[in-house]
Amino acid sequence: MKTQFRYVFELLALLCLLSGVARAEDMPATCKQDCPAPFVKNEFWTTEYGPAAANIVLSPTNFLACSSSGYALCYYSGPSAAPASKIPKETLPSLPCTVSKDNPNVADCRCYAESGDSYVDINSIINTEAYVETVRVCGLNGEKCRNMVSEAAGKALALLGKTVPYLPTAPVCGYLQAGANGVAPMAPKAELLSTFSFAKIKSYGKDQTSCAGSSASYAGCMTAPCTFERDSSGKPTGFANCECPIYSGPYQIGQGGASCNAGSGYVWSAAYAPPSKSDTAANGGK
């Protein structure tokens, strides 16, 4: 049975394809509240299922709507081999997440470099100050700020020519935009941050693969610090290199029909959306 998150995800993906990315100009992306605060890694268990590094999603409202001049999309990163594209004759790039030789708790992931609208999982904010500010304004589940649910409803209303209800932009959005020094306030040396968007949904599709049957290692890339990948002449290549924390537990992959085994030395960039309590009860507690 499809979860509430699945319904909203598919609805918003469809609306994005129909109407395109909208209202980016309405989302202030500059940090204005005593920023940048000194970086303190968020070690809180933001949900009962794990800390920020676990990338837990409990509700579609957890995904806060932001806009920035650059963000990394690591949703499809993992093995070294690229999957087949859903678009005929398109060749997808290799987006490996390699376990760091210097730190086995970190994965070095190659991700897409994008710009414009994206979403931040409120449970996965790695900067403590950004997390606290955001929870105060948006609530623990993000429902008091622009989020995936409100965006889906807003796009539907806009298509019908109706007024979209106002919600504030989440404080975390101000931590995504790089300042004059080229560094984003979210984390030291970060030129851009890993978030989520539907930018590549036509190429990869909207299906997922569940690896929730057992505990295994995966890269929790949400809000991970990244730098632009550059060629030999120093020009951006359209990709980013991100340092994603590795967490062990059940997870889901953002591609359908994928193997949960990313291969030796690699991990999937993934997240975990636990079954709802009602679904668990319906399945006899499993």
CB atoms closer than 10 angstroms to residue 206: 16
Confidence of residue 153 (pLDDT cuts 50, 70, 90): confident
The per-residue pLDDT for range 74-123, each reduced to its tens digit, is 999 999 999 999 999 999 999 999 999 999 999 999 999 999 999 999 99
Interval 30-51 mean pLDDT: 79
CA–CA dist 191, 143 (Å, integer): 28
Beta-strand relationship, 209-219 and 192-195: unpaired
Confidence of residue 32 (pLDDT cuts 50, 70, 90): low
Interval 152-168 mean pLDDT: 80
The answer to which of 14-23, 166-175, 232-241, 261-270 has the lowest mean pLDDT is 14-23
Compute the mean pLDDT over every residue in the chain, rounded to the nearest whole number.
87
The rounded radius of gyration (Å) of the Cα atoms in the chain is 18
Strand blocks (E) in 122-204: 192-195
The per-residue pLDDT for range 198-226, each reduced to its tens digit, is 999 999 999 999 998 878 999 999 999 99
The answer to which of 69-73, 96-100, 160-164, 246-250 has the lowest mean pLDDT is 160-164
Contacts of residue 90, defined as CB under 8 A and 6 or more positions apart, other chains included, come to: 203
Confidence of residue 37 (pLDDT cuts 50, 70, 90): low
CA–CA dist 53, 177 (Å, integer): 21
CB atoms closer than 10 angstroms to residue 213: 8
The strand pairing partners of 245, in sequence order, are 106
Range of the domain at 215: 4-282
CB atoms closer than 10 angstroms to residue 103: 12
Query: Which residue carries 């109706």 as its tokens?
Result: 162
Percent of the chain scored above 70 by pLDDT?
A: 84
Query: What total number of domains does the chain contain?
Result: 1
